[in-house]
Amino acid sequence: MATNDLAGRTFLVTGATSGIGLAAVHGLTARGAEVIGASRSGAKGDATSGLALDLSDPASIRRAVTDFAASHARLDGLINAAGAVYWKPATTAFGVDRTWAVNYLGHVLLTRELWPLLEAAPRARVATVAGNPRFLRSLTCDPAALTTTPRDGLRASGEAMAARVIWTHTLARKKRDSRVTVLAFHPGLVRSNLVSSEAPLFWRLLGGAMNSWASSTCEIATTAAVDPALDDESGRLIDPALKVHHFAQLEDAALGERLWTETERLLARG
């Protein structure tokens, strides 16, 4: 049921024209929020307005933030929903493979550039898509992987998801005195175009089968972005059942610092 409890609040959603991002747009606009849908095309789609954003290009990210800031003095929530599985390597303007640029570095830079506008809101939220907690428990991320050409696109995408969780936890620790709550969330099975035409036939068939029973909604995306009950869970991952997850290997402070240092080094180049 549509309500207007988010009227007067502004959210930016990446990957807003399909999949989890589109579902988040629907969930937020149904509650009266202003939603800026960010995508490579800049198409408005079902959002309040559109914003051109290429997460593989630092110049595009900074330009998008400048465009947004020209008409907005604050940002109440950022949903980092864009992502892709790439089966063929390709170097980006970040100087790293597109798997790491789109699935990790781009969102880190976007969040960093938008941080002053998030701080300007009374109580803002950053919600970043991560993977299934069952799979994340078996994953880690070697920071050196960011500058390595992936041999396996699926595995690299999993490592990038792990990096998002590590980064979320580290960011929350470094910004512990901020009014901004930083969360990762598992979206559940949501209909998407994550499996591209360049994927092997098996994965294209599997992706099509999964989409046939996947949901077109993602309530946890909206919940992660606005629910005040999660204010004290900064740095954690939330699943669709609102269970808060902890990952010993991904919340290791030393690993978080190593990933943070390497991330900052790479962002400084662009």
Domain limits, the chain: 10-188+219-269
Distance CA 98, CA 184 (A): 21
The least confident of 9-23, 107-121, 141-155 is 141-155
Q: How is residue 159 written in tokens?
A: 């490592």
E strand intervals along the chain? 10-14, 34-39, 49-52, 77-80, 125-129, 181-185, 237-238, 244-245
- Which pTM does this prediction carry? 0.93
Reply yes or no on whether the pLDDT at 241 is more than 80.
yes
Mean pLDDT, to the nearest integer, of 182-191? 90
Reply yes or no on whether the pLDDT at 254 is more than 50.
yes
Reply yes or no on whether the pLDDT at 110 is more than 60.
yes
Which pLDDT belongs to residue 139? 87
Residues 6+ apart with CB under 8 A from 51: 12, 36, 37, 38, 39, 42, 64, 67, 68
The least confident of 6-15, 74-83, 113-122, 139-148 is 139-148
Which pLDDT belongs to residue 41? 94
Which pLDDT belongs to residue 191? 73
**Confidence class for position 189, pLDDT limits 50, 70, 90:** confident
Which pLDDT belongs to residue 152? 85
pLDDT > 70 in the chain, percent: 90
Find the Cα–Cα–Cα–Cα dihedral 153, 85, 210, 14, rounded to 10°: 160
pLDDT in tens, 37-60: 999 999 999 999 999 999 999 999
Reply yes or no on whether the pLDDT at 202 is more than 60.
no
pLDDT in tens, 138-162: 888 999 999 998 888 888 989 999 9
Reply yes or no on whether the pLDDT at 211 is more than 70.
no
Residues 6+ apart with CB under 8 A from 151: none
Q: How far is CA 139 from the centre of its chain?
A: 18
**Confidence class for position 205, pLDDT limits 50, 70, 90:** low
Which pLDDT belongs to residue 208? 63
Comparing C-alpha atoms, which of 22, 15, 65, 31 is closest to residue 226? 31
How high is the mean pLDDT of the chain?
Answer: 92
112 residue type, one letter: R
Q: Is 10-188+219-269 in CATH node 3.40.50.720?
A: yes
Distance CA 136, CA 129 (A): 12
Mean pLDDT, to the nearest integer, of 86-104? 94
Give the residue, 199 or 136, on which the prediction is more confident. 136
